[in-house]
Structure 1
């Protein structure tokens, strides 16, 4: 299976705290970690660890952080021919995590904002070979839309993770095979807090399938004629960072493997859940054998 990920590459600066700070409050962190992150990089690494051949299209700066990011991506065995190194600062994120595993994230896009449509189009050959293209919205929206059009021109399936929420051209929705907002993103996109109604609105825009991730409550799926609710797995969650990213990667991998949406959703739920049991983004992304061991030991799929 071959997957192209078009998206952000960041360095994450993670701070563990007893509680998230309130407005104007200064608190002390009890732990600090620097790791590779960014929704694009997280999804690419997760898909690779789950057994896919992964081609990453993204941008990093020419600074030391950019070199660090490239080294970490190379260590994972990703195809990096689509990484653009430019004269800018590599994107970074400051993440604060409390004792319950809840977090706040502030992202500075840096080089990610300069990932152009021309750079994506230059690597159109990658789209022809791919089973899925996965995208998020931490890069320019015009680049996302260009990549989606390019995927459809090559009959490649598209999974769009609409995070953070941005305005998307109405015509683009009809080119998206599966859109995967969480509850907050669904509300921002549709104006309704009702999951079923929100999903229906996205289907009416032309999306073929909607998966709403519900955190510790699992996920909801619909294609307009079928609805599926999958409960989350029970884990000791310490950090929810990258759980949504790994879920999206796992969904693409599982759809390649199983060709069955219910099995794919359950597989993605396991991957997302296991991701929350470790601190950080990259280091928390599970490997294929860990996922298979959990499924076997818990008779889950």
Structure 2
């Protein structure tokens, strides 16, 4: 039995700069590297590094970018046999600036010809998964996967980040809805994360969470706001931290961890990731996480 992660995969083209630009102009990068990214794809890598079998399901073109991304995912023992290849489309990629404080600016491109039709998913047997995680960047695919989760009584996790599309149906369907702070504000129109979380809870029967960077995570349990502080680390790069948190949360859900334990676990995995550059290089193994939790 494995965990399914469905959504976007992108090639991240990352440049290091002293500070993030605030105005137009020319800037000099101090480093450059490429690594696979995308919320669901990076979550899948986290799941694999935490010791679970995992399958990534997403859309790619038939190009060299896809070849690079899928080879990297496979190198982390992520199953990509059910990837959806779309002829004539370009695979997704992002330009990312990371400053000396570890903060980043991401500009993502998705080819409009990268078909959003979920029909290719109809041949997959979703009943074989222990947990299904989706991001919001392929909403039609996410909706289908979450409906399958309901059909087969499989727990589901939604990475509710910013999206150009409405995510109301996805939030309503998911068992665990983990918002980013910007994603929660977009969804509710409320800037305060605690009040936004309360508003989001009115629109789903699932559990709702919001990650607030170094402040950790808030969630609602038994009608009450709960909070767990984040782990303090020397930050090198926050790229992918939220994606890694969601991958760890999917693992915690698959293992039926109590809620606070699952948040401590997910916070720890995401924090350790931030101590190294890139969205995946710093993802810790399960052994590293357990050692960190014992301190």
TM range (shorter): over 0.9
Query: Taking structure 2 as the reference length, what is the TM-score of the superposition?
Result: 0.94
1:153-185 residue CA offsets vs partner (Å, 9 max, x unmatched): 111111111222344364543321111112221
Q: Is the 8 A contact 1:7 1:136 kept in 2?
A: yes
Kindly indicate which of the two structures has a greater share of residues assigned to helix.
Answer: 1
**Any unmatched runs of 5+ in structure 2?**
none
Aligned to 2:128: 129
Aligned to 2:105: 104
1:139-161 residue CA offsets vs partner (Å, 9 max, x unmatched): 2x222222211221111111111
Give the distance between the partners of 2:48 and 2:113, measured in 1 at CA.
Answer: 21
Query: Taking structure 1 as the reference length, what is the TM-score of the superposition?
Result: 0.92
Aligned to 1:116: 117
Equivalent residue pairs, number: 294
SS at match of 2:160: coil
Post-superposition offset of 1:113:
3.8
How much is the aligned-residue C-alpha RMSD, in angstroms?
Answer: 1.8
Give the distance between the partners of 1:282 and 1:273, measured in 2 at CA.
Answer: 12
Aligned to 2:267: 269
Aligned to 2:3: 3
Aligned to 1:90: 91
1:264-297 residue CA offsets vs partner (Å, 9 max, x unmatched): 000000011011111111212222122122112x
Q: Give the direction of change, closer, same or farther, for the CA distance of 1:241–1:207 in structure 2 (3 Å limit).
A: farther
Give the distance between the partners of 1:113 and 1:162, measured in 2 at CA.
Answer: 21
Q: Is the 8 A contact 2:58 2:83 kept in 1?
A: yes
Stretch deviating more after TM superposition (25-34 or 147-156): 147-156
Post-superposition offset of 1:37:
1.1
Q: Give the direction of change, closer, same or farther, for the CA distance of 1:112–1:49 in structure 2 (3 Å limit).
A: farther
SS at match of 1:24: coil
SS at match of 1:291: helix
Give the distance between the partners of 2:216 and 2:275, measured in 1 at CA.
Answer: 16
1:24 aligns with 2:24: yes
Aligned to 1:168: 166
Q: Give the direction of change, closer, same or farther, for the CA distance of 1:72–1:170 in structure 2 (3 Å limit).
A: closer
Aligned to 1:64: 64
Q: Is the 8 A contact 2:161 2:182 kept in 1?
A: no
Aligned to 1:157: 155
Aligned to 2:51: 51
Aligned to 2:38: 38
Q: Give the direction of change, closer, same or farther, for the CA distance of 1:109–1:171 in structure 2 (3 Å limit).
A: closer
Post-superposition offset of 1:207:
3.6
**Any unmatched runs of 5+ in structure 1?**
none
1:87-141 residue CA offsets vs partner (Å, 9 max, x unmatched): 2222101110111111100011238942531112221x1x2021211111222x2
Stretch deviating more after TM superposition (271-280 or 146-155): 146-155
Aligned to 2:201: 203
Give the distance between the partners of 2:210 and 2:54, measured in 1 at CA.
Answer: 24
